[in-house]
Amino acid sequence: MAAYPEKLAELVETFALLDRGERIEALIGLADRFEEVPPEVARRPFPAVSKVPACESEAYVFAAPRPDGKLDLHFAVENPQGLSAKAMAVILGETLAGEDPAAYAELSTELPLEIFGHELSMGKNMGLMGMVALVAHAARRAAAGDRALDEARPAGEAGAAR
């Protein structure tokens, strides 16, 4: 298991103890808590730079800088049936809230596999991994003192969003 900030590490450990049915129930419960990005952070049409590449649920990631240098993470999931994307948004938003961005700037894109297991389709996993990659990218930029978080994508992702 990769090194994660404390709250995220605890969640990953908890999910490792759950059987398949319990994991599914827990993830549905998390998805039910999903709250879309507030309009003061982003409005439709959402910017292409915030779109998660390869995500079947058309998810978007927004990192709003706080005065203390930390980030408030917000998400949009355009597919109403995008339960796995909504669950991942809640996981990332809740477990990384209040953390120093440097603590999650190198999040492993394997995180979705550690939480969801190996039962999701390759397309779903790629979308969830993309969410993690965009959050880590925003954290790297914030840790480097970059206040214009949504102006560029990680290397290799230019043009991936439509």
Task: Compute, in degrees rounded to 10, the torsion defined by CA atoms 120, 117, 125, 101.
Answer: 150
Residue 157 pLDDT level (bands cut at 50, 70, 90): very low
Give the pLDDT score at 12: 96
Distance CA 134, CA 140 (A): 10
Q: pLDDT tens-digit profile of 4-16?
A: 999 999 999 999 9
Environment class of residue 5 by beta-carbon count within 10 Å: exposed (0-12), middle (13-18) or buried (19+)? middle
Is the pLDDT reported for residue 26 higher than 50? yes
Residue in 157, 96, 111, 97 with CA at minimum distance from that of residue 2: 111
62 φ, ψ (degrees, to nearest 5) = -130, 130
Structure tokens, 131: 């969410």
- pTM, 2 dp: 0.88
What single DSSP character describes residue 45?
A: S
Q: pLDDT tens-digit profile of 111-147?
A: 999 999 888 889 899 999 999 999 999 999 999 987 5
Mean pLDDT of the chain: 89
Domains and CATH numbers, the chain: 6-36+51-143 (3.90.1010.10)
Peptide bond into 45 cis (omega under 30): yes
Task: Compute, in degrees rounded to 10, the torsion defined by CA atoms 133, 139, 144, 149.
Answer: 80
Distance CA 99, CA 103 (A): 7
